[in-house]
Amino acid sequence: MQKIIERSTLLNQQDQDYLLRYFARLPLERKLDVLNRHRKILFMRKQQEADEEIPINVVSYIALVLANKSHLADEKKLSAKRFEDMELNEVRELSIINLDKLKDKKKNSKTKREKVLGLWAVVRTLRQKKVSFRDISRYLKKHHRLEVGHSLIHSMWLELENRISEDQNVV
């Protein structure tokens, strides 16, 4: 079965696995685009492979790998930015893809404040051990790959811990 897949896709198992991991990392909108390509390729392949009696799940897998391959090729065209070789429709499509990528990147990026809040239990534990804010900042950079200033941690500490102490005083 593997030989049939490799012959149809012209890709070895490692390259197929890479394309499937690439698909898993894509945002939802681009996954849907790949699945649209998959559907088109699948119907073409079903007609071509009808007399070879290849199971439909294998044909579907081949179509998914080929759809990922074509999507990745379009992405590489975009990164090359050699628009003089392309037609206007291709440039427009690639620009739309690039714009969607930038929107996804901006939407998914958290602010440093939100990232520190996610690690607040670590900050609190270190602070209870009498670790300075500068050392906490270094610790977060080293162990959590979060580069944040000590002043932000200090201001958040004052804000959050004062709020907690006020809430405890009210009760």
Distance CA 43, CA 27 (A): 25
The token pair at 161 is 């811990």
Q: Say what the pLDDT of residue 157 is.
A: 92
| Unique residue bearing structure tokens 């939407």 | 107
**CA-closest candidate to residue 153, choices 165, 143, 166, 141:** 141
Do residues 95 and 75 make contact, with C-beta atoms less than 8 angstroms apart? Answer: no
For the entire predicted model, the pTM comes to 0.54
Coil vs helix vs strand at 68: helix
pLDDT of 71 above 80: yes
Distance CA 124, CA 157 (A): 8
Per-residue confidence band for 89, with pLDDT thresholds at 50, 70 and 90: confident
Q: Rounded to a whole number, what is the distance in angstroms from the first to the last CA of the chain?
A: 69
Helix 150-170 and helix 120-128, axial crossing angle in degrees, nearest 10 = 80
**pLDDT tens-digit map of 14-63:** 999 999 999 999 888 889 999 999 999 998 888 776 677 788 898 899 99
Q: Is the dihedral of CA 72, 73, 79, 83 positive or negative?
A: negative
Coil vs helix vs strand at 14: helix
CA 159 vs CA 31, 127, 131, 155: distances in Å: 41, 15, 18, 6
Q: Tell me the pLDDT of the chain averaged across its residues.
A: 85
